Amino acid sequence: MQQRRWTVRSLTAAAAAAVAVAVPAHAVAEPAPPGLPPDALRAAAAADSPEALRAVESLLDAARTPALFEPPPRNTPQPFMQPAPTFGLGCGGGFTPYAMTTGWAQPGPNAVPPVQIGQLKIFVSPTIPTLPARADLKFVWLNMENFRGGVATLDDTVGGVPQLSKTLDTGTGPVLSALFGSVQYVDGTFCQVVYTMGAFFA
C-alpha cells in the first residue's frame, strides 16, 4: 500500500514537472476579474467612509443567501429595487424637505451611452429641475458570481456639471449594489440620499 501511495505521488510530481517544462517561461496568468475580493473590499470601504463599510457588510451578508433573479434583456435599463429616501430643505421642490431619488443601471453592450459587456453605467436622477453643483454619491457593488466588488463615486461631469453617473467594470453576471450620498444644487439646495439597494445583471 505504501508503494502505491509513493507511486501516485511520484507520478503527480513527474506530471507537474512535465507541465512546467511544457509551459513557456513567458506565459502570463489570466488577468483577475474586475473588483476586489471581500477582505480588500472591506479595507477599501473602511478607507472611504463608515457608510461605505456598512454598505459592503450589508452586501456581503445578503450574498450569503442570494435571491435568484432572471437576467433581463441586455439593452434594457435596470432600475434600483426602491427609490432612495432623500432629505433636505427644497429637495422635493419649493420648501418640501423630502423626495425619493431614483436611479438605474444600463448594462452593455450598448451604443448610446457606450457600455461594454461586463460593465454597468449607473445613473441617478436629480430630484429638482436644477443643475447639480456638487455631488458625492457612492455606489458600492458586489458581483455575485466571483464575490469581487468595489466602491465608486458617481463623478462623471460635462462642462464641470456633475452628471450623477459613472461607468463601472463589474464583470458579467448578477451584481448586488448600494447607493447613498449627497447632492448639492446650484440654487443651494442640499439633499442627503439615504441608502438603497439594487440588483442588476451586467
Instruction: Tell me the pTM.
Output: 0.81
Contact 151, 140 (CB under 8 A): yes
Helix, coil or strand: residue 123 = strand
List C-alpha distances in Å: 134 to 74, 89, 164, 182: 32, 16, 9, 8
pLDDT at 32: 79
Q: Any idea where the domains of the chain sit in the sequence?
A: 38-201
pLDDT per position in the chain (202 positions), as tens? 433 333 333 333 333 333 344 444 454 567 778 999 999 999 999 999 999 999 999 999 888 875 656 677 667 899 999 999 999 999 999 999 999 999 999 999 988 889 999 999 999 999 999 999 999 999 999 999 899 999 999 999 999 999 999 999 999 999 999 999 999 999 999 999 999 999 999 8
Residue 116 contacts by C-beta under 8 Å, 6 or more apart in sequence? 108, 109
